[in-house]
Amino acid sequence: MQFKKIAFTDVDGVLRGKYINKSKFDKGDLGFCNVVFGWDSSDQCYDTNSVTGWNTAFPDGVLTIDTTTRREVPWEKNTPFYLADFSKDETLKNVCPRSLLKSVINEYHKLGLYPKAGFEYEWFNFHKNSQTINEPDKNTITRGMFGYSLLRLSENKEFITQLIKGLSDFKIEVEGLHTETGPGVYEIAMQYTEALEAADQASLFKYTVKEIGLQHDILASFMSKWNVNLPGCGCHIHISLHDKAGKNLMTYQPGNKTEDVSTYFLEGILKYAADLLPVYAPTINSYKRLVEGSWAATTVSYGYQNRTTAVRLIANKPDHHHVEFRIPGADVNPYLALYSLLSTGLESIKNKTPLTHEEQQGNAYSDTRNTLLAKSLEEAVDIMEKNKALKKVLNPKFLDHFILTRKWEIKQYQKAVTDWEIKRYLEII
């Protein structure tokens, strides 16, 4: 085919890319304007310079196409598609989400460890028309709660059938799909695989749902919390560590704190969970989901088969032992979340840090011993910025840039006049 499609993920998790001619593709690395790391999800340039800005005049960065990611876009006459990153660019490799994840995976390999992962997503679906944005509650594709309802799946069988087939054809392996509790909301679990491939599939999953949704006049939303009266949309991340032969090294058993790689890894995740909350909950809206009784974590906690904790331990069968990280919403950047989880786990593994957190028994929401997560992005960023130790755990240039981007997000929100303010003050004050 004469043209190929290439894409990469920016800091906000937005998939950016373009079509390129085969002749250009065959030449190898490409130049790509580095403004993609100098603006936000709405293409507004940051007012403070980090890796790029008006002061640099936005030169090209070196974009490297990963030819091992080749797949064909089934809804575009099988156009060849490739993922790319900035791993060869000396500046952008420090902020490119995929490049960062690759770097920490390589550190695991040096220790003879091979991380695997699997992502779950929840998302809402709306009939796409001129009223969708203004009145989303009137436009969900199903009504009522109806979690795990086969009837609700059948109501939109053309969309669901094409989605499942489209995902498979696009090399995104689905483990299961069902309705969640809420109008027009679904959940999907992707097959467990190597960590980088898992993040690739997670990023492409959102793209696929949106593309196929448009063909059915459906707007697919991964906003963390769009309705105060409904559960939010989560992104649960399942992780395990293996040796080179594929043996699962996650041996943790409920109530047993025998020190090994699995307890070190768990301690690392928990130790930095609150400090890295802006990565796991990156938007203003993310924090509307992190409330008690909403199926989302509000504390730094872990427990065996416990869905009120930040980390759920799953140890049904020896080969299936792993951790499920439950803090992120569907608005999370999968590369950055996995990069942060693996980095904090790695620091603890290298230092053989013992598991100091107590296993949660019962409801973590009501256990006052647990550290509470921040209630807003502004509070979370303040906590993140004050912890200087993070720069020994994650790439310091990434941290500086990421904090800059979150402060920018906060500033945009602070200027906004919301519907709540209009309804509350316009007439009566």
pLDDT-above-70 percentage for the chain: 98
pLDDT of residue 49: 81
Mean pLDDT taken over the chain: 95
* Closest listed residue to residue 60, CA positions, set 17, 93, 18, 89: 89
The sign of the dihedral angle between the CA atoms of 353, 357, 361, 363 is negative
Which whole number is the average pLDDT over 269-292?
Answer: 98
- State residue 368's pLDDT score: 86
Q: How confident is the model at residue 335 (pLDDT cuts 50, 70, 90)?
A: very high
Residue 128 pLDDT: 87
Among 23-32, 33-42, 198-207, 317-326, the minimum mean pLDDT is found in 317-326
With 80 as the cut, is the pLDDT of residue 341 above it? yes
Edge-to-edge strand ranges of the sheet holding 30-33: 15-21, 3-9, 79-85, 60-73, 30-33
Which tokens sit at 255? 């109530």
Confidence of residue 131 (pLDDT cuts 50, 70, 90): low
- Under 8 Å between Cβ of 325 and 86: no
Q: Where are the beta strands (DSSP E) in 201-327?
A: 218-221, 235-242, 299-300, 302-304, 311-314, 322-325
pTM for this predicted structure: 0.96
* Rounded distance between C-alpha atoms, residue 212 and residue 419, angstroms: 31
What interhelical angle do 396-415 and 377-386 show, nearest 10? Answer: 150
Of the pLDDT bands very low, low, confident and very high (cuts 50, 70, 90), residue 275 is very high
Read off the pLDDT band of 293 (50, 70, 90). confident
Q: Which of 73, 40, 69, 39 is nearest to 56 (CA)?
A: 39
DSSP state of 319: G
Q: What is the pLDDT of residues 359-401, one digit of tens each?
A: 999 999 999 899 999 999 999 999 999 999 999 999 999 999 9
Show Cβ contacts of residue 130 under 8 Å, excluding neighbours closer than 6 positions: none
Q: How far apart are CA 261 and CA 350, in angstroms?
A: 9
